Amino acid sequence: MKPSLILFLLSCLLAAETISAQQVDKYASQRQMMIEEIASDASRLVKYIDKDSVSDRVMQSMATVPRHLFIPPEMRDEAYENRPLPIGYGQTISQPYIVALMTDLLQPQPDHKVLEIGTGSGYQAAVLSGLVKEVYSIEIIDKLGLTAKRVLKQLGYDNVSTRIADGYDGWPEHAQFDSIIVTAGISHIPPPLVKQLKNGGTMVIPVGTRFQTQQLTLVKKDLNGAITTKQILPVIFVPFTGGH
């Protein structure tokens, strides 16, 4: 091979590498900006929860999960904007700030087993994956659940188990759970989920009327099994569907 040809091929290779590095960087810097925006939003937290920041562990997880890979390819450039995005079938991936807040409210610990109702894109499950021991996530729309399962597997989130089912009944085979996160709005707190929450456990759930503002509600089960609830802030989630 002529030296000039080798040089040409080498420069093509280098150019290709630069492009892919730029693409990775582009999302890395957008992700960093999202983190900064969540951190600056955190002052709004004070009036809802008794602190002015999201815990470092949660922020760290949000800073590493590639949110753009959980949304449809044509929307990737908007992945890191601080707003919800459509993920198909009339469903949405939650706004990053809300994901951070809900995750933080669960006070995730490395030995925790968490149940999520509403896998959607799988993003919330991925954020939880690095913070706890096991994540169990249920989705009622089979196409969404199967896509999320594939993406989570491809990205190596091996401690997330997914299932296609009506999440109203929880996942009794894996109960009890240290915490439960519900990412669809429902008129009441499902009793099966309360039952599957450990004593000392926490649930975060948007409670309210269909298509209207719900109250993000923090449910605590104390060591004797008594339940207390606290309304955190108004939110709008897609409806909890199924047969309940």
Classify burial at 69, counting beta carbons within 10 Å of its beta carbon; exposed 0-12, middle 13-18, buried 19 or more: middle
Sites of contact with ligand SAH (CB under 6 A): 91-94, 117-118, 120-121, 123-124, 138-141, 144, 166-168, 183-184, 238, 240-242
Largest CA distance in the chain: 80
Distance of closest approach, residue 124 Cβ to ligand SAH, in angstroms: 3
Q: Which is nearer to ligand SAH, 204 or 219 (CB)?
A: 204
User: Taking the alpha carbons of 97, 101, 104, 106 in that order, is the dihedral positive or negative?
Assistant: negative
Distance of closest approach, residue 165 Cβ to ligand SAH, in angstroms: 7
Catalytic residue among 94, 121, 137, 179: 94
Degrees (nearest 5) of the Cα angle 187, 91, 78?
Answer: 130
Distance of closest approach, residue 140 Cβ to ligand SAH, in angstroms: 4
Give the integer Cα–Cα distance in Å for 218 and 136.
Answer: 19
Q: Which is nearer to ligand SAH, 42 or 79 (CB)?
A: 79
Q: Which is nearer to ligand SAH, 84 or 198 (CB)?
A: 84
User: Taking the alpha carbons of 42, 43, 45, 51 in that order, is the dihedral positive or negative?
Assistant: positive
Distance of closest approach, residue 231 Cβ to ligand SAH, in angstroms: 20
Collapsing DSSP to helix, strand or coil, 153 comes out as helix
In terms of phi and psi (left: phi > 0; alpha: psi -120 to 50; beta: otherwise), the region of 204 is: beta
Which helix (H) or strand (E) covers residue 178, if one does? strand 177-182
Q: Which is nearer to ligand SAH, 81 or 166 (CB)?
A: 166
Give the integer Cα–Cα distance in Å for 211 and 68.
Answer: 26
Per the annotation, the verdict on 94 as an active-site residue is yes
Cβ distance 214 to 236 under 8 Å? yes
Distance of closest approach, residue 105 Cβ to ligand SAH, in angstroms: 14
Torsion of CA 117, 113, 170, 97, to 10 degrees: -20
Q: Which is nearer to ligand SAH, 120 or 201 (CB)?
A: 120
Distance of closest approach, residue 209 Cβ to ligand SAH, in angstroms: 15
Q: Which is nearer to ligand SAH, 193 or 218 (CB)?
A: 193
- The catalytic site residues sit at 94
